[in-house]
Structure 1
């Protein structure tokens, strides 16, 4: 393999005068690696797309918007927000499906320094209320499904103006989207601070409450450069090794957006990359493999990126062999470890597409690592090397570096690391320490070529189809049931989703609980995907260690054998 050539490409691209030159900058009080040529804010990324005015940008069902039409709409939204008294630094929330309006609102806000709060569309009314109180947005853009949840707890939007998107009937207390986009005008001329918050995305917290991660403009732009670098370095290494010259100009990308835009996978990675290249985003209302195949054929989609189960369902779908997928160049994704067999299956079954993956998290505005094509096929159990804008190391429980190739918690430091969590200085101080090092919570090892292998998770978490579900959050919900005495939540291996939520429960003396009542209880207070699929009602206390802690691993291993 071309690992020497990959190092040569890295040195050429990131060295003095390189397109991806790396420098150290003072960022939030620390000396941090950064891309010298990166624009200062998301505003510049969006404005640069004006040169693509006549190209198709957003496609949803039979609707199409060009870049020029989208810019006109973003200008209207930005001007309307200013008319409502919203200022740079204020927050605006989006709670809806993957409609074109999601991206229009996002770019409009970022382009004028207003912070976007991306709300999980799966949240229950109770979870929505928590996030709205936590983030305190001036405006909430929402669709019919989310409006119905607001009606369940109307106090959650006191002081917040509502804008309805794609409503059949617009209530009197809701502003019609049509009125917002009728505002017109040029984009306000605003200088955006690179270290101000571009958006706040919520990530589940170990305390039982989600944490609002502060993704800065610098971090979001840096993540875009991470992705651009990953492609450029891989292509250059292959050229050095084989003489194969990449096409110039590169084909204009068409990308299927098949994961929610309130996650960094779809927003910061897929959407940013295709937008910066002047490509087309084909939006899916929800994931369905057969529909994805239809869209790939109809729109000549080149890239599909989601959680691993999506790629597996795509290539195993009965319509796969009957569908023209010859436009596909890349298939893979992140959000969960891609099983090595799936890497090789993509390589074998999709004649035109190469497998790829990226490892990252909300707290890094997107990717930490990236690997694709020949490098991924050669090391299918790796997530690739850290991007040059990061320092990466594995440490023991005391924070000391472990030798190369040995396991330890992965820590990273770089310009894409978040500022912190809103209203949670304790959580920020716990996650980001020692001059800007982010503790990922993942156990990893790093080889002699810098390739990283994720081998376990330090965090007590279930990773279900790319969604982080913290066991403590589910346990907190279970304990709200009056008849539950003890409970322990853990992940159960699942072929389709990676993991499912399992729960062992002991009822209070003289009380009884059933699987149905537990599911009904959880479903009323938390999103459906967090509700345990596997429930064991035990008639004896949960096993504990000498300090009184539940022996969760022992419990999980014993019960999962019964699945």
Structure 2
């Protein structure tokens, strides 16, 4: 470590982490490696050339598999088909589906045709879907007619009643003025829409060839992907990602996750529409990794089946998914030993990571922190001490600048909690169609305010204390739920716990613990208090306990704490 005035430099394999003050929590990570000026489509060209016959995607439940060359060929054919029905460069295409192999083919096709992919949550209902389509002028929707409990065609029929009889070559809808095409992932009669096979069968060899020839014409700074925030409160915001941002952020993440060390097969538990999948999937393409979908819809049982039978070397999941997988493995005790597991999308407790290592027999656990707005901002370093995995969300990634500020937007000292702010190559420029929210979230210097309560350390690592809006203020005391959750997670009978602040007349808010137990048996408030006694300050000890079997979640696995509070308030009113 070399001190230069107020700048301290920590060197790691040619990369440089600048500490921009001797005491204030402000870091900037630079690297000698140049940024890559290529599109996602060009990245796939390179991947197909280098790993031609290697499996790119295995859809276990669909019993389908494609090599990298086959995946690229199918994507180019579908891209040519999309252009043949009138879609042109820059038109937005919504993919509204669970984890089907067609989702991946269609998304790559869009990248190859210069069509921004709008990743839509399959759980969206008609009002939510209408909002998303109209918010950013989606021109085409790709979805199944039906899948499990998701009634895609029925929902579209609510918005487009004429869909059953409409002329698909002259499609128009009053409630969805931008929408001009619907493509069903279906082999049956799609009536007013195209089928997936229709699109694949339309183009001739010359139009497919033109897709390959057009790759250099696509601007690396054009939008590759648009994602919506989870919508845990109010309507979601539209977040654009450029080819340049995705290619570069995922390249460095792939290095961090050691994907360049050997060929890996991912057990892909995460939903395709979520930013987590975008980061890791593209990171894998830099190194020829294989994606394995264990199921169309999330199932811990099928995930464990896939890990065992396909000998998956890399597990992907949110903390909630690992809780489920650990529960399944505790019952079955299968002979598995994955090389790596990555947890992201929410913060994992130290106890959960220990359970991943002991119960799932994972050799190395990696952690990743990012938002839909930032892609990956912090990520585990190769060969780091295990304690870093237990106590942080990783180390700042290359081409990222971060600082932590107080309520007055003054930078705090290292080790002091505050709001995390980010700058860098992968940070969004602004929300689509929402100048007001963009102005609220960015300051005049271009810093993005994440809304996360964060602690940053001098060595480049950081940790989430919680969401600012989740912080509990009890009688003037600031309480961070994550601290209490991590402690309660060490109780031998607690499987999962989420701490919330419930309105209280005298104190403002009171601490409640919502708990799922390992054996299904209730745990008493008195037992929780005894467990916390002399371990937590009195004001952090839960005043009430609520036993649950399931927690309200978004489709991406994030806990909706506001719904927990609503449920408690409703129950208290009815007592």
After superposition, the Cα gap between the structure-2 partners of 1:33 and 1:459, relative to the gap in structure 1 and judged at 3 Å, is: farther
Partner of 2:37: 39
Partner of 2:493: none
Q: TM-score, normalised by structure 2?
A: 0.72
**Aligned partner (choices 265, 275, 297) of residue 276 of structure 2:** 265
SS at match of 1:433: coil
C-alpha separation between the residues in 1 aligned to 2:199 and 2:113?
Answer: 16
| Structure 2 residue 417 is matched with structure 1 residue 407 | yes
C-alpha separation between the residues in 1 aligned to 2:264 and 2:277?
Answer: 15
Cα drift, residue 216 of structure 1 = 1.5
After superposition, the Cα gap between the structure-2 partners of 1:163 and 1:261, relative to the gap in structure 1 and judged at 3 Å, is: same
Matches within 5 A, 1:135-154: 135-144=136-145, 145-154=151-160
Question: Residues 259-304 of structure 1, C-alpha deviation per residue, up to 9 Å, x if partnerless?
Answer: 11111111222x1122222121111312222211111122121111
Question: Residues 458-489 of structure 1, C-alpha deviation per residue, up to 9 Å, x if partnerless?
Answer: 145999xxxxxxx9xxxxxxxxxxxxxxxx9x
Contact map agreement 1:343 1:376 (CA 8 A) in 2: no
Partner of 2:248: 222
Partner of 2:525: none
Matches within 5 A, 1:136-535: 136-144=137-145, 145-154=151-160, 156-167=175-186, 169-182=188-201, 183=203, 184=205, 185-186=208-209, 187=211, 188-190=213-215, 191-204=217-230, 208-231=234-257, 250-269=261-280, 271-283=281-293, 284-318=295-329, 322-326=333-337, 328-370=338-380, 374-459=384-469, 493-495=514-516, 532=563, 534-535=567-568
C-alpha separation between the residues in 2 aligned to 1:405 and 1:75?
Answer: 50
C-alpha separation between the residues in 2 aligned to 1:376 and 1:88?
Answer: 47
C-alpha separation between the residues in 2 aligned to 1:103 and 1:339?
Answer: 32
Cα drift, residue 13 of structure 1 = 2.9
Cα drift, residue 79 of structure 1 = 1.3
SS at match of 1:536: helix
Cα drift, residue 104 of structure 1 = 1.0
Question: Residues 76-109 of structure 1, C-alpha deviation per residue, up to 9 Å, x if partnerless?
Answer: 1221222233222221110011111111111111
Q: What's the RMSD between the two structures over aligned residues?
A: 3.6
Contact map agreement 1:331 1:356 (CA 8 A) in 2: yes
After superposition, the Cα gap between the structure-2 partners of 1:321 and 1:204, relative to the gap in structure 1 and judged at 3 Å, is: closer
SS at match of 1:149: helix
Q: TM-score, normalised by structure 1?
A: 0.73
Structure 2 unpaired stretches of 5+ = 2-7, 18-27, 146-150, 161-172, 472-480, 483-499, 501-508, 519-551
C-alpha separation between the residues in 1 aligned to 2:233 and 2:389?
Answer: 36
SS at match of 1:305: strand
Cα drift, residue 394 of structure 1 = 0.5
Cα drift, residue 201 of structure 1 = 0.2
Cα drift, residue 161 of structure 1 = 3.6
Contact map agreement 2:317 2:344 (CA 8 A) in 1: yes
After superposition, the Cα gap between the structure-2 partners of 1:319 and 1:82, relative to the gap in structure 1 and judged at 3 Å, is: same
Question: Residues 51-87 of structure 1, C-alpha deviation per residue, up to 9 Å, x if partnerless?
Answer: 2221111111221111111111111122122223322
After superposition, the Cα gap between the structure-2 partners of 1:214 and 1:495, relative to the gap in structure 1 and judged at 3 Å, is: farther
Question: Residues 410-433 of structure 1, C-alpha deviation per residue, up to 9 Å, x if partnerless?
Answer: 111110001211100111122222
C-alpha separation between the residues in 2 aligned to 1:379 and 1:390?
Answer: 20
After superposition, the Cα gap between the structure-2 partners of 1:208 and 1:57, relative to the gap in structure 1 and judged at 3 Å, is: same
After superposition, the Cα gap between the structure-2 partners of 1:332 and 1:369, relative to the gap in structure 1 and judged at 3 Å, is: closer
- How many residues are aligned here? 457
Partner of 2:57: 58
C-alpha separation between the residues in 1 aligned to 2:467 and 2:112?
Answer: 37
Contact map agreement 1:32 1:414 (CA 8 A) in 2: no
C-alpha separation between the residues in 1 aligned to 2:111 and 2:517?
Answer: 36
C-alpha separation between the residues in 2 aligned to 1:374 and 1:89?
Answer: 42
Question: Residues 496-535 of structure 1, C-alpha deviation per residue, up to 9 Å, x if partnerless?
Answer: 99xxxxxxxxxxxxxxxxxxxxxxxx99xxx998694625
SS at match of 1:49: helix
SS at match of 2:370: strand
